Amino acid sequence: MTGSHAGLFGELFVDREMADAISDRALLHGMLGFEAMLARALEAESVAPQGTADAIAGQCDPDFYDIAELGRAATLAGNPAIPLVKALTARVAAVAPEQAKWVHFGATSQDVIDSGHVHVIGCGLKLIDMRLVRLAGALRALAETHRTTPMIGRTFLQQAVPITFGVKTALWLDPLLESRHVLRQMLAEPIVQLAGAAGTLAALGDDGDRLQARFVALTQAAEPSLIPWHGQRHRIARLAAELGILTGNLGKVARDIGLMAQTEIGEVAEPEAPGKGGSSAMPHKRNPVLCTLILAAAERAPGLVATMLSALPQEHERALGGWHAEWPTLPELFKIAGAALAQMITLIEGLQVFPERMRANIDLTQGLVMSERVSLALAATLGKAKAHHLLEEASRACVAQNQHLRDVLASMPAVTEHLTAEALADLFDPTTYRGASDAIIDRVLARAAQAALPRAAAPTRAHGVTDA
């Protein structure tokens, strides 16, 4: 990693791809794209003379501007749009003095910054979508491969009843498909901002309404862009919340895998790699570092989402701090969600699965985890209460005598009167106690197949009006 993203923590918390997608340069590109598109709209509506669009757009290359210098000026001005517009105007004036007065005409700083952030959001969402597609494919493969692989289900961290690893992975996948659906909608419906000083485009007089319509049409933005959103931040907050939900669901998967990878459980392990997961003190250790990093992201996300929600009640027509709080917060959410996704892809694609340990863990209780199934079988003839009482009695004997529950039951006439040895053996086979697991897996896989569209197209101009 290069530049400001390099450091002692490497790519533990943000990866190079996402850092580039939501970088200051990407924001600058989107802000300059706004200015170029505004000039096109002004010229198209005959507000500005012919030649204005080319003169301004020709100076809207991000490489023409020193980000560090703009940042120093922004420290005094209060936002980066003010020094950028000043620098852009100076460059246009140097080559086309008559057109320089049309730079930023009728717009305000928030129009530039919000539209720049829309471009950054589009870049970030495109990358997240591509990663979700890849992760969904890896989880689908796990669910299909381990459809019938028995393992113990756990509730309150205690053994409950057998499930399959296939249904577990399907249930990891399902909420990620939902997040992808929601985020794709947001990617497909970007909204740029052109509203002027107080949201009414008053500086443009009678030209304001048609100029705004032309601007929206040129940027191919969604219809809601015609409504100013300087102080209406619900869409940005909704995006932040969905990124938080996505990161939290990734954390759930990481939590499960981390628990399953414990030495005493040993049902799965993270991918092996030289130098990965070691301990500075204990050479034998193999720490679940990917799970650790994903969970760290899931721990951080709620506070960032809370900041975005706290910024919703903004003052009047322009916020006094709330809008500004969004600037560093939303990119940070993209960073941690993107990094968690990248780490989860590595984790799932290389996950080591140990079916024999899963089966051994089912047998740890000597059949006690199958007591529900036996009780239900006996209830058909003995009634629920009596069957439950018999299984309670047998379970106590199982523990006291250190015998398998099947053997204890086979010695009880009240049981063998209704269940043969073969029937008992079948009842203790976890592979035949799957309930609706296959149907659940099939529904999730069908949803995944339906959602597995081609990778998202490159952002349209509405993702930053990128004709600059």
CB of 418 within 8 A of CB of 378?
yes
Instruction: Tell me which residue of 174, 310, 294, 152 sits closest to 241, measured CA to CA.
Output: 310
pLDDT in tens, 299-346: 999 999 999 999 999 999 889 899 999 999 999 999 999 999 999 999
Q: What is the pLDDT of residue 66?
A: 96
Contacts of 18 (CB under 8 A, 6+ apart): 124, 127, 334, 335, 338, 339, 342
Is pLDDT larger for residue 237 or for residue 14? 237
Give the HSE-up count for residue 369: Cα atoms under 13 Å, Cβ half-sphere: 23
Question: Averaged over 69-91, what is the pLDDT?
Answer: 96
The answer, yes or no, to whether residue 251 has pLDDT greater than 70, is yes
The answer, yes or no, to whether residue 1 has pLDDT greater than 50, is no
The answer, yes or no, to whether residue 109 has pLDDT greater than 70, is yes
Report pTM. Answer: 0.89
The answer, yes or no, to whether residue 276 has pLDDT greater than 60, is no
Name the average pLDDT for the chain.
Answer: 90
3-state secondary structure of 417: coil
CB of 162 within 8 A of CB of 359?
no
The answer, yes or no, to whether residue 391 has pLDDT greater than 80, is yes
- Tell me the two tokens of residue 246: 């996505």
State which of 210-219, 246-255, 401-410 shows the largest mean pLDDT.
246-255
Q: What is the pLDDT of residue 21?
A: 93
Q: What is the pLDDT of residue 25?
A: 96
Catalytic positions, written as ranges: 279, 318
Q: How far apart are CA 298 and CA 286, in angstroms?
A: 22
Instruction: Tell me which residue of 129, 383, 75, 112 sits closest to 242, measured CA to CA.
Output: 129
Instruction: Tell me which residue of 374, 240, 250 sits closest to 309, measured CA to CA.
Output: 240
Question: Averaged over 235-248, what is the pLDDT?
Answer: 96
Contacts of 3 (CB under 8 A, 6+ apart): none
Q: What is the pLDDT of residue 223?
A: 56
Question: Averaged over 175-196, what is the pLDDT?
Answer: 91
Q: What is the pLDDT of residue 454?
A: 39
Q: How far apart are CA 57 and CA 116, in angstroms?
A: 15
Question: Averaged over 147-163, what is the pLDDT?
Answer: 95
Instruction: Tell me which residue of 390, 453, 456, 450 sits closest to 417, measured CA to CA.
Output: 390
In the chain, pLDDT over 90 holds for what percent of residues?
78
Helix pair angle (24-44, 67-77), 10° resolution? 80
Strand bridging mode 268-269 / 150-155:
unpaired
The answer, yes or no, to whether residue 437 has pLDDT greater than 70, is yes
Q: What is the pLDDT of residue 462?
A: 35
Q: How far apart are CA 122 and CA 227, in angstroms?
A: 20
Question: Averaged over 359-366, what is the pLDDT?
Answer: 95
Q: What is the pLDDT of residue 224?
A: 55
The answer, yes or no, to whether residue 164 has pLDDT greater than 90, is yes
Q: What is the pLDDT of residue 149?
A: 96
In the chain, pLDDT over 70 holds for what percent of residues?
91
pLDDT in tens, 344-354: 999 999 999 99
Residue 298 vs residues 51, 179, 191, 198, 340: alpha-carbon distances, Å = 51, 15, 28, 38, 8
Q: What is the pLDDT of residue 225?
A: 64
